[in-house]
A = this chain, B = another copy of it.
């Protein structure tokens, strides 16, 4: 039974408070008519989709400056969920307060450590305390609820609007090449469109040339790799799983052949899913 046939509104789980960048990415991908549901942690987002409390989930996969979101990749390894889409969001930070105030009078700035780090140059001119928190939008909510009048939070413009707060400065990130790529989680991946990507996880035997031999399956078929990353297996120290994205759909002949070839060489292969390339 397809949930969408009985419910009129698609529901999407995300991690964080209302106004989070993940929620913004979900709206960018699905359009404004979805119902977004906040969850405290990434494992809870996975669980919400697995237990069908929502139709889809959205999770951050990698940031163009910071690299991969390790927890997401570790959860994808153990979950039966599929990646059915990707969406890339330009991340632009705002300095947000309860009311208009001069930048000199700010005593404290709250935000996620990554957001604080991404605004380092801007913040170095402010001479205030920086307090790391678990969430950007959650910091806005907190300074509003606690009525902290000499504090600010760093979060999105959308978070400022949702909590009806003042924006003291926009675009305060040091580097404008700041994009986050999100994965859409579903029970199934997506059908062939002609402009697809596929994400897989595999591990090799620990012998010289093992990774080279695995990549040969893609190279001889001229399949373009868009990402490769190693992550600890968490079982044996210094043994790695490889996370690979390539262009093409797993149902295409050359991709099928490459995955078959890889299957013969690798200790294990898991296909996370094929999905339309974001553009």
Contacts and interface: CB of A to CB of B under 8 A. Distances in A.
Interface of A: 62-67, 70, 113, 132, 134, 175, 177, 179, 181, 207-209, 211-213, 215-216, 218-219, 222-232, 234-238, 240
Given A177-B235, A212-B218, 20 more contacts: A66-B70, A67-B231, A67-B232, A113-B113, A175-B234, A177-B234, A177-B237, A179-B237, A181-B238, A208-B218, A208-B219, A208-B222, A208-B223, A211-B215, A211-B225, A212-B212, A212-B219, A213-B219, A228-B228, A229-B229
A172 B113 CA distance: 25
A208 B232 contact: no
| Copies, count | 2
Contacts of A235: 177
Contacts of A67: 70, 231-232
B64 A238 contact: yes
A43 to B, nearest CB: 10
Contacts of A234: 64-65, 175, 177
Contact of A132 (B132, B211, B218): B132
Given A64-B238, A177-B234, A237-B179, A228 B211 contact: yes
Contacts of A237: 64, 177, 179
B238 A225 contact: no
